[in-house]
Structures are given as C-alpha cells and as structure tokens.
Structure 1
Amino acid sequence: MRKIILMASAIVSIITIVILLTYSKDDNKIIRIGYFPNVNHAQAILAIENNSFNEALKDEGYKVEYKVFNAGTEAIQSLISRRIDVAYVGPIPTIIGYVRSDGMIKIIAGSASGGSLFIIRDDLPIETPSDLANTRLAAPDYGNTQDISLRSYIIENGLKPKELGGNVEILYVRGSEALILLSKKDIDGAWVAEPWATILLKNTNSRIFLDERDLWPDRRFASALLVVRDDLIENKNVIKKILDVHINTTRWLNAHKDDAIPIIQRHIEDVAKQKLSEDIIKESLSRIEFTSDPILNSIEEFAERAYKLHIFNNIPDITEIYYQVFDTIKVNDGG
C-alpha cells in the first residue's frame, strides 16, 4: 500500500510538473519587437498605440513586447543574440548584421524611404561639394546609414575623410549633441535623419545643402526596414500577420498623416521624453515616404558603399537578404 501511495504521489508530481512546464511554455510565446521612438519608425509607433500586433497575434497564442533602441547596431545585435525577434532598423546595420550572422537576419519589408538631409551652417560660403574641404561635419554613429552616405558623398566628390588621409573631419554625435555643436559653430554641418534634420533647421542658423533623395534614382532609397530573425520565418502564420499589420499601418499612415501626428507626438514624448511640436513632426513626415517596398536596388548600393569604405573585406553577397512572405509583393501603400 505504501508503494502504491508513493507511486501515486510521484505520478501526481510528474503531472504537476508537466502542467507547469506547459504553462511556462505558453507564457514564453512572446514576440519581441525593437524600434526607435522616432518619426521614421512611425508604423511601429502607430501599431503599438493601436495594439495592432497584439490583436493580430493573440489567436496564435502570442503576446508582443517592445524594446526601444537608439542605434541600429544595438537593435541588430539584439536580434542576433535573440533578445528580440523583429526590428525596425536602417539598411546599413541590417546588411552588417546579415553578413556577420551568416544570414540570420532577413528583410521582410521596407518601412521608409528618404528623411535624411545634409545640413550646413548658413554663414559659411559652401555652395559646391569642393567647398567641403577642411570642414568639420557630424553623423549619428560610425558605420550607420547616414555615416556611410556622408563619407561616400565626400569621396565621390574628390575629397576624403581625415581617417583616409583627407581634410574632412567627421564627428560621431547624437542629434542633441549636433544641435549644441552646430549652435556653437563647433561643427560646420551634419548628415542627419528626421526629425533631427528639421530640428537643426529650425533651431540653428543652418540650411539644407543636400536632400539625400536627390542622389537616388526616382528619389527613392531604403532608410528604414522591417527585419526578422530567420527562425521566425518558419512560423508562416505569425510572419504573415506581422507583415499584414505593417502593411495596413503603412496604408493608414499614408492616408491619414494629419491624424497620425498627435499620436506620434504623444508616443515620442512618453517613451523618449522628447517634446516635438506638431509643426516639426509634420515637416519631418513631408520628407519621408512610408512604404512596404524594400527598394532592393538601394540595399545593393549600400552594401557596395560599405565595402568601399572598408566595413567589409569583400563585397558582401546579399542575394538572399530579402525574404518574400507573400506570393506577390504587396507594395500598394495607399495615400
């Protein structure tokens, strides 16, 4: 009898453990999405505020959590280390992450095109690229998308950054630091993304030297992408629902930009503790095309530029960086 009781007790314990493990497994069905609380990641902000990802994935048994980043390199590293599963991020960090993770990261959609300006001090006699000799310029981070664009532009116009033996100095500072440095005339210009481009224009004695869109065919290039870790692609229902939310949010945004402004404004203030006026957000949005098109020709061009700037030892093979979720590409973004 004692053995029977002990066996029954053991069976109950095993069942209890199995149940606990089952619930624990369910609790771990979490999709973690990384993004920047910034205007060029507007779809992420709107989807969060509307609870769209959670609503779309609840039937699959998933909850969604969000992770805020301030640099693309950090977001990509979190993808590779499995701390997040999905991210809104720029093309250069995406390419670097894809190459260095042996293809672990995949683009499933575009998110934004444009929204990047080369701002210079208005008191300087800079009218042509050659006038940039002996200047001191700023970019947000070494090896990020704006940095690659700035250094490529300098080299293509017959100049060189100081690290390559030239006379153009490039500092790596955040937008808030660029604002201070430009105001104090400690830098001569900055290649920055929105909303910092508009903030610099409105708060310093500066002007637009170049809108990056003017350097690209049809004025279109990928400035933000929706990327995932490759193992998530195996779950077809989840990946399709994530992409559907992104596409539908993109379409709504393009059709309702004025309605989106206060939502974006409130989210940025709540999450980033940054107060932006509606005018700044509206002007920033006017320079960004929100699109689910990944604009793959620009991804290839960015990869070649990164190679020329010694980010890679060889031209990276990115032929499989894009994963087409649907049988046909849904690029009708409305608006």
Structure 2
Amino acid sequence: MISHRMLFLGLLAVGSMALTGTAAVAQDTLSPDNPYKIVLGTLPIGPMIPAFIGAEQGFFLDEGLEVEFKPEPAGQDIVTAIIAGEYHFGFSNQTSFLTARSRGLDIYAIASGTIGESDETSAAHGVLVPEDSPIQSMADLQGLRVSVDTFGNAPHVTVLRSLELAGVEDPLNDVGFIELGFPDVVPTVSAGRVDAGFAVEPFLTVGKNSGLRIIANPLLDTQKGFPLSVYITSGELIEERPDVVDAFIRAINNSMAYASENPDEVRDAFPRFNNNVSQELAESVDLSLWSTDFGPESLELGAELALKYGFIDSIPDLEEIVYQPGE
C-alpha cells in the first residue's frame, strides 16, 4: 500500500490529480435535520481539541454539518488525503500547506489552526533535552542531532529560525535533523538516541515529567503568536460547495472561540480526544492558543522563512491561496 507520505511526495512532483471520493458527495441544502457529512483530517495533539469540542457542543451540527474525524501522523498526510479526495477538510502546519500550494496543488487555507504562545509561561511547544545534558541553549546544538516531526514543515522552520537567532550561521547544515513523530520524542531523547527533540503538548509535559527539560521555544523565538497551523480544503470543494466551506469556517471559528474561553473544558476533553492522555496529564499541560483572526497576512513570515530555508522555490500569491467566506 502506498503511504500518504509517498503520495504527498509524488503529488509535489506531478502537481495535482483528479479529486474523487468523499469530496464529491452532493447534498442540496445544509440542515441540522439532514446534515452534510464531512471528513476532517486530524492529528493527536492539543491544538486540535477545539474541533473535537465543537463537535460535542453541536457547533458543526448547528451549521448543518456532521463531522467524522480521521487521525493522521503528520500534516503532510492530511494535505495528501485532501488532494486525493479522501477528506473534505484538514488541519496542517502552514509550511506543508505552502509547500504543496507552491507546487500547484489545488488546496486553500480557510482558517487559523493554532498560534504560538506570546510568553514562556504558557509555552505549549519546546525543544527538550535530558536533564543532565550539557546543552543549555540552541547555540549548543551545533554539530548535534535534533528531531522534528517532519522535514520541511512549520516546526522545522521555527527550529531553524531559533538556531539562527542563537548564532548558528548555517542551521540547515550545521545541525543534524532527523524525523521523529511527537509521541516518540520523549523516549528517544531520554535514551540518548538524539540530542534534542521538538515537542508539542501533551508530549512536552510528558517529557518534563520524565526528567527532560526545555532549552528553548522556537515558536516564541520566531514570532509572538506565530501562526503555526491552518485548516485547509480543496479548490474543488470551494467551487462546488462554497456553502459547506463557509459553514465549516463558522463552526471551527466558534469552536476555537469556545475553547479559548473555556480552558477547563479543553482539559476535560483532552483524554476523550486522545485516549493516551490521562486526566492527570491533561490538568498539567500548557494549552495551545487559538485565534479566529486569519487572512493572507497570517502566512507572510512563514512564507518568507520557508523560502529562505529552501522549502519553497517562490512565495505563492497569499491573497489567492487564502479563501475567505463570501468570496
């Protein structure tokens, strides 16, 4: 079986492919009594909890949508599934989206996914090292091995930026990067098989509870409130069912606003969203931050950095690739 990752790389090479499957399902009107069924690609991380809560609270059903969650290991896999017509919507880091779009793939950003923290007291992302490691800062990582969940994605971009700001002149070549899924960061760093690893909640707190410590927050280093991720959909769905896309945007924005205003409910929902997270762990994690403000300007810095580090050959027209309701 061809993996989503292999298909993603293939799609980048050929540009696009015909959409089939779930995105082609037709239904004339949106109604809570006869909801339009959508598939949303997800990741098992804290930033996605608002979508789960939104489904529980009925925000999607209120818009005439019935949502099914489909978990994937990385943002690239979700991009691939949307292009392949398997999913209507997805959650992806902004760099994977920009990379796919810069290669001509027919996808659009439609809403903010999560934003980086504004200070260290609420850091939901960070670089972990063993407690007894001599590494004290990002500058100490020169010549060592660092993990990111996927090469060429937003965490990779922010780690590179953080290294550069710390004085590492050529971070792409002066640091050895390896791919490591978020659930594997803590055991791999603890065992010394990698010198440092980028993690997101709940794995950041798991690491701190396991004797690891945080040396930096690359998102905060890059920009306060850095727009890390976006919700995406296909151009075909926008063309055929803009009402479904607009309904999804309203539902996910209501979900993120609700999550921001009700952090206790986010913590309560975490173990239901990810059954590997205990209630005790959920009570101790630093929650992600969400924003309903989203437009082309949200992607400007990320696009500039993706170009600088060679993940895209040129910056696409941001006005064109960001869909906003009513267009």
TM-score normalised by the chain length of structure 2: 0.78
Distance 1:25 1:233, change over 3 A: closer
Q: Percent identity?
A: 20
Gap regions ≥5 residues in structure 2: 1-24, 28-33, 117-123
1:126 aligns with 2:135: yes
Amino acid across the alignment from 1:105? I
Shift of 1:231: 2.7
Residue in structure 2 matched with residue 304 of structure 1 by the alignment: 304
1:240 and 1:119 map into 2 onto residues whose CA distance is 39
Cα RMSD (Å): 2.7
Larger radius of gyration: 1
Amino acid across the alignment from 1:81? A
Shift of 1:213: 4.1
Residues 147 and 197 of structure 2 are in contact (CA less than 8 Å); yes or no, is this contact kept in structure 1? Answer: yes
Amino acid across the alignment from 2:178? L
Residue in structure 1 matched with residue 293 of structure 2 by the alignment: 293
Distance 1:64 1:213, change over 3 A: closer
Distance 1:25 1:122, change over 3 A: closer
1:296 and 1:153 map into 2 onto residues whose CA distance is 24
Instruction: Find 1:146's aligned residue among 155, 163, 167.
Output: 155
Amino acid across the alignment from 2:100? G
Shift of 1:25: 5.7
Residues 72 and 90 of structure 1 are in contact (CA less than 8 Å); yes or no, is this contact kept in structure 2? Answer: yes
Residue in structure 2 matched with residue 226 of structure 1 by the alignment: 231
Instruction: Find 1:240's aligned residue among 239, 243, 246.
Output: 246
2:159 and 2:254 map into 1 onto residues whose CA distance is 33
Give matches, 1:246-265, under 5 Å.
246-265=252-271
Residues 108 and 232 of structure 2 are in contact (CA less than 8 Å); yes or no, is this contact kept in structure 1? Answer: yes
1:32 and 1:106 map into 2 onto residues whose CA distance is 16
Residues 112 and 292 of structure 1 are in contact (CA less than 8 Å); yes or no, is this contact kept in structure 2? Answer: no
Shift of 1:54: 3.8
Q: Report the 3-state secondary structure (helix = DSSP H, G, I; strand = E; otherwise coil) of the residue aligned with 2:266.
A: helix
Residue in structure 2 matched with residue 43 of structure 1 by the alignment: 50
1:174 and 1:89 map into 2 onto residues whose CA distance is 15
Instruction: Find 2:213's aligned residue among 207, 212, 232.
Output: 207
Shift of 1:258: 0.7
Residue in structure 1 matched with residue 4 of structure 2 by the alignment: none
Runs of at least 4 residues of structure 1 off by over 4 A?
24-29, 295-298
Distance 1:213 1:152, change over 3 A: closer
Amino acid across the alignment from 1:309? Y
1:296 and 1:318 map into 2 onto residues whose CA distance is 5
